[in-house]
Amino acid sequence: MHEMSLAEGVLQLVEETARREAATRVKTVVLEIGRMSSVEPEALRFCFDSVTLGSIAQGAELEVVMVAGSGWCMVCAQTVALNARFEACPNCGSYQVQAVSGTEMRVKEIEIE
């Protein structure tokens, strides 16, 4: 389960930010997760709750914003919507599609006190 290492990485970023801002508590962490990122949001929530125990982020709410996937079709020369990696272009059926969004995961916002 790679979600545990992802949750640990998020906690590290959150703790660094909290220290830099002299925060006493982290209330909310907002993550953007691409639909094609291979990250399971519910597994990540479980792992986040586990890794934050005893930290400044213990009890923080984890909000997940899903980001739609898109790719560049080399045949159509257009950006097209994708639901999964290695999916065919919905316009022409070609598999020559390179993902351009929806594969990322990033910390978008941290609410602290």
CATH code of 107's domain? 3.30.2320.50
**How far is it, in rounded angstroms, from Cα 54 to Cα 76?**
52
Cα-Cα-Cα-Cα dihedral sign, residues 21, 27, 107, 6: positive
Q: Is residue 95 part of a domain?
A: no
Beta bridge partners of 110: 29
Total structural domains in the chain?
A: 1
Q: Is residue 79 part of a domain?
A: no
Residue in the structure block whose two tokens are 């002299």? 22
* Number of Cβ atoms within 10 Å of the Cβ of 85: 16
Per residue in 53-93, pLDDT (tens digit) is: 999 999 999 999 999 999 999 999 999 999 998 999 999 99
pTM: 0.85
